[in-house]
Structure formats: structure tokens, C-alpha cells
Structure 1
């Protein structure tokens, strides 16, 4: 944006816009989730329990706002945005399993393997992940070539360069001391890669050129690192009620907080956010 006054107006109106978009995402997720009778009732109930639980919808917001910023028609990115929420929800279901983090609470509710059972949780997570790809592939609002690219970016973010790699690294090296470079790499894989993919997909839907997509990716990379540091801070000093999930589970792990202290972690988070703002201004 060229005009500072216009930028300030956009920033002032953003919270209202985000709430409207979040409500729209929630409505569309309810439509895209499997309906009763389409699969075994217990599985459908578990999927809807996980996917439709109250959440920030951060990743779909990135898709929608990036697409809008680059001129996409309203609604053009909605199904792609919902697909990214499905991927995120699937990752949470699998991350919470007893073989992984063995979490008991997520988004203020019992985790899906506690509310249902472990086998249903695994099937729900796998089903949600595949439903995300199906939603993108079926999105007639987007040209076929773009749909293929979105599926490829989403799959790469989930796979051996993204969420799966990060979770494996976390499990295998959990008791190892890490320096900040190793912590950033882990956070990038577990959190940042999917955030980058969401933001860049939104930019692509909006018609951004390659240079702008790259800058949007750098913005999202920095936001992802800041996001995970904030999560570490919440785990260290937050309450279960405020976080809506188990806290204190990182106490035996090396995190930004254990490495830098609370003040240092907050400073690192702010540094990432400042760099994100600079990258966005260049997009």
C-alpha cells in the first residue's frame, strides 16, 4: 500500500474483518465435514468434534487475507482456506495421541482419543488429511493447474520436509539439548512450514507474482517462528484454562524459553514479528 492513511484504515478495520472471515470459515467447515450417514457414525462424530471445535482458524485466515490482499474475488480462496484448517486439525489429532505427546486437552475439550478412542482418532486424522486434498481438488473456483500446485504445496508442508519430519525430530531428539538454530529448525518444520504454505497459497490465488509470493513466504516464516515461541511461553507460564490445552508438557525439553529465559524469548518473538512486518511491506 502506498498511502499510510489507507494502511491505518485497513489495520483499524482488520479485527472486524477477521471475525467475519472466521465465521464464514466455520460455516463452510461444517458443510465440508463428513455428514452423518456418509461414514460410520462414530467416525463422523469424531471428525466433526475435532474439526469444528472452537479455534483461532489462523491458517485459513492467512489464506483468505493473503488472497484478498492480492485482489482475489471474495470467496475464491474459501475452500482452500478450509482445507488448510483440515490439515491443521488432522495434525493436532495425531500429535495428541499417546504414542506422540499423549495430550489430554485440546481447544478446551478432551482430546479426540480421550473423548472417543485411539483407533477412531487415528482414522479421523487420516480421513481429515485426505479430505483436505479432496476439497482442493474439487474446488471449481480455481483453475486446475493452480489446484494441482496447492495440493503439491500442502502435501510438501505435511510430509518429510514439514510436519511429519518435525514431529519425528521432536520425538527422537526430545531429551537432547538444542541450540537456538536447532530449535528454530524444529519449530519451522512443526509449525512454520504449514503457515508458509497457507500464506503463499493465498497469494497465489490472488495472482501474486513470484517475487511477492517469496516475500509472503518470508513473512509467514517469521510469523511461524514467533507463533511457536509464544506457544513455548504459554506452556511455561500459562494456565490450562487460558491455554485451552495441557501446559507444562515442555518442561523437560529444550525450548526458546529454557534457552533464552522468558524475557529473552519475548525479545526473540518481537524480533521475528518485526522482520515479518518488514517482509510484508516488501511484498
Structure 2
């Protein structure tokens, strides 16, 4: 299966699973469930669940065993976007080409929608089949630590506090280690765990995810200043407008592109212990480096 078909097919599998996991739109109280589904099914690349499933395959596991973890990371990711878009945070009107949750359902409901999606992530993750090495406790602890104040939320705090300030490259790396790279790495680790991965394989996925996550963020920053709102599906140039430090702002565009390529090479190097089974992950890394939206 070529990569384009694989990404489309895998995203469809994830969407079908999330549809089965989430409360139906008309289930009482209907407003919150409609808002949750509006946010989850707004589109998007489904990158994190795709990586979760690809990691499971790279470790010799079954996709069916990785679907709950894959959906859980996407639910956590969507919650973070709903809250990021709020006026008190990034104050954005567009997400994935559609009005953001708070523009459709109001700010209060958007806060509750994010809260509900985060909670739902753990309900779904608890359904993941245990393996010899990893039980429900290990799955839950993995995602909980990623979503906490030391990682995802901590990164959001540093991001907010960095607005209007002149940050160093190291400051920027700290932010995106905690935000982008952490959840992306956990997506891979959960996929590996669903396949009962050995510690060595899990370590390889961790190193791959860290480098890939940072590379993804560099490209994201580049696209924010080089692409239009229509192409991105979100407000272009927003980082510069709020005086947020980004890779292009600190390094310049050419150096940022080189940084993304360097990080992608590091990511691919990390996959060597997985051998030929990591070919799909390598394909995804190469694809993400060249993405235009």
C-alpha cells in the first residue's frame, strides 16, 4: 500500500473507532456531545493515531490492539486544540478550515468540551488490551504524564509566558519538547506498548518521536509564515501577530528548513533497531518534512 493510501485508510479506521467510542450527538446533554463530535470530526491529518498504529505494526503488533490508544491520543490532542483556540489562549477563529468550537458553541461550552474530551481519552484508553509487559496502569500512566503540567500543559504555560518576549532557541526547544514532541512521542510509545514492545524497541520509538516531534514543529512554524489561511485551515501569520517566538523568527527560514531536515535524519537514525519493519515510519517522517499544510 502506498503512503497516501495508507494514511487515508488508517485515518478512516481511526475515525470509525472514535465514532463508536464517543457518545452520540443526541445523547443527553446533547449540546456537549455535539460539540465534542464537531471538534473531533472537523478533519485533520490524524497524525498521532496514524503514528500509534504504525508503531504497533513496526513492533509486530495488531492494529486492532492499538486502536484504543490511537483514539485516546487523538482525543487528548483535540482537547488541547479546543482550549488553545479560546480567547484566553491563542484566540483563534479557525481550526481545520472551520469555525473553532467556541465560535460555534460559546466559550463556556468549549471549555467543557475540552474537559470532556480529555476525560474521554482515558475512558477509551482503559479499553486497550493488556500485554505481558504493559497493563492498563502502564497505558494510563503514560498518557496522564504526557498531558500533565510537566509536559503538555507545562509547554502551553511556557508558550503563553513567552509571548512578546525574545526567546532563545533553547527556550523554544523546551516549549516544543513539552508540547508537540511529548504527545507525538507518547503516540508512538503507546503503539509499541500495545504490541508488547521490548524496552529496546520502545527506546527506539521514543528517540524517533522526540526528533520527529521537533521537526514537525519547525515545519509548522515555517508554514505559518509561508502559507495562506486557506491552505493551512487556520489563521496564517498568527504567531507573528502575537509576537510569539518561532523557529523562523529566531533562526530565519533557510536555517529553519535545515534544522527540520537535520531533526528528520536523527529521527530516521533512531529507527535502526527496528529494522525493515520501521519502513512505514520512515516514509511518514519523510512525508512530514515535505508537507505544505
**Fold-level similarity (TM above 0.5):** yes
Matches within 5 A, 1:27-38: 27-38=16-27
Partner residue, 2:270: 279
1:262 paired to 2:253: yes
Partner residue, 1:165: 154
The Cα shift of 1:37 comes to 4.1
Residues of 1 paired with 2:88 and 2:63: CA distance?
A: 41
Partner residue, 1:176: 165
TM-score, length-normalised on structure 1?
0.92
1:86 to 62, 75, 98: 75
Contact 2:150 2:178 in 1 (8 A): yes
Matches within 5 A, 1:102-121: 102-121=91-110
Task: Sort the Cα spacing of 1:39 and 1:138 in 2 relative to 1 into closer, same or farther, 3 A.
Answer: farther
- Which has the larger displacement, 168-177 or 59-68? 168-177
The Cα shift of 1:22 comes to 1.0
Deviations 1:36-60 (A, max 9, x none): 3433111111100001111100000
1:61 to 24, 27, 50: 50
Partner residue, 2:179: 190
Partner residue, 2:87: 98
Partner residue, 2:283: none
Partner residue, 1:43: 32
Contact 2:68 2:127 in 1 (8 A): no
- Which has the larger displacement, 129-138 or 28-37? 28-37
Q: Kindly report the root-mean-square deviation, in angstroms, between the aligned alpha carbons of the 2 structures.
A: 1.4
Matches within 5 A, 1:94-243: 94-139=83-128, 141-143=129-131, 145-243=134-232
Paired residues in the alignment total 271
The Cα shift of 1:192 comes to 0.7
Contact 2:25 2:37 in 1 (8 A): no
TM-score, length-normalised on structure 2?
0.89
Contact 1:167 1:190 in 2 (8 A): yes
Contact 2:162 2:244 in 1 (8 A): no
Q: Flag structure 1 segments of 5+ consecutive residues without an equivalent.
A: 1-11
Q: Secondary structure at the match of 1:250?
A: helix
Contact 1:103 1:111 in 2 (8 A): yes
Deviations 1:26-82 (A, max 9, x none): 111111121134331111111000011111000001110001111112311011101
The Cα shift of 1:90 comes to 0.4
